[in-house]
Structure 1
Amino acid sequence: MNGKTHLMGGLAACAVVETVVDGSDLSPLFYLSGMVGAFLPDICHVHSTIGRRLPLLSRIVSFLFGHRTFTHSILFLAVVYGLLHVFLPDARNVQLGLFAGMISHIILDMATVRGVKLFFPFSLRVRLPLFIRTGGKFEGIVQFALVIWLVIWSYQFVQTWM
């Protein structure tokens, strides 16, 4: 998936998390973290949105692991979870947002032809039964559907405050 689709997916995942958990203490930092999390797994791709922002780190991760392997795995989620609890133990907004974004990213990439190595270091690629080509017209439809869902969710969210 491309960066715009991942961004919409991360925001949509944050909206879902906010409705599932007690979102009364969630701040805009939650959604900002969700957007970062939506890009973070692609640190392994030097031409990705985050890879262009952090080129040295991206090249190192790409060299060590390749694309859609470690950074698209359950192991990566566990490593990030551990790091967050060590360095930001009381940052619930950041933790929830990052994980919502990262999980949405991995799920969206599972819906592509290549899939992901979800169980890295094992070489098994995981792909959803229905999948699309990255950058194709069907990705545009997925992106549009996510935007429509976010607009509807935002409207309902605003209505609850009135």
Structure 2
Amino acid sequence: MQGNTHIVGGITASLAFAQISSDNPLVLVGAGVIGALLPDICHGGSKIGRKFPIISKIVNMLFGHRSFTHSLLFLFLVMMLLHTFVPYESISAGIVIGIASHIFLDMGTKQGVKLFFPISMSIRLPLTTKTGSKVEKVVFMLLTMLSVYFSYEIVVKLIDTL
């Protein structure tokens, strides 16, 4: 999936989580966007890879694309680091939700992900698409509509509390 789809996926997942969470929705969504981009640090052409080219090159040389940074091990390690060093639950939850949404969306591509890294088996969803395809544009549109819906629900909750 492309960066914009991952961003909207992170927003949608964070807003969905905000429906059942008392965390700050704005912080949650902002952190969700960061988390949604983070796994592609292994790809020099990605949005985050272009911002941090040296780190991206090192991670890619060590692990390749869609392996360690797209795995449950990576998700768990990031979760542990955030729990240890970040005292704000909204930030930690948003980043973890964003990473999870990224991994799930990339499971919808033909390449899949190395979900159980270091085991080299690729995992993908039963229905897959090619990155940048028309199907991805439909996924992007559906995620955008879900984001609008979840945003509306949060605004209604905020108004009700006033």
The answer to whether the 8 A contact 2:38-2:99 is kept is: yes
Partner of 1:4: 4
The answer to whether the 8 A contact 2:18-2:25 is kept is: no
Could you tell me the TM-score, scaled by structure 2's length?
Answer: 0.94
| Distance of 1:27 and 1:9 partners within structure 2 | 15
Within-5 A mapping of 1:73-152: 73-88=71-86, 90-152=87-149
- Give secondary structure in 2 for the equivalent of 1:131: coil
| Distance of 2:145 and 2:29 partners within structure 1 | 18
1:153 to 1:51, Cα distance in 2 relative to 1, 3 A: same
Cα distance, 1:27 vs structure 2 = 4.7
Could you tell me the TM-score, scaled by structure 1's length?
Answer: 0.94
Amino acid at match of 1:4: N
| Distance of 1:154 and 1:33 partners within structure 2 | 16
Indicate the larger mover: 42-51 or 12-21. 12-21
Amino acid at match of 2:5: T
Indicate the larger mover: 52-61 or 147-156. 147-156
Amino acid at match of 1:71: T
Identity of aligned residues (%): 46
Cα distance, 1:85 vs structure 2 = 2.1
Amino acid at match of 1:30: L
User: Which of structure 1's runs of 4+ aligned residues deviate more than 6 A?
Assistant: none
1:159 to 1:7, Cα distance in 2 relative to 1, 3 A: same
Count of aligned pairs between the two proteins = 159
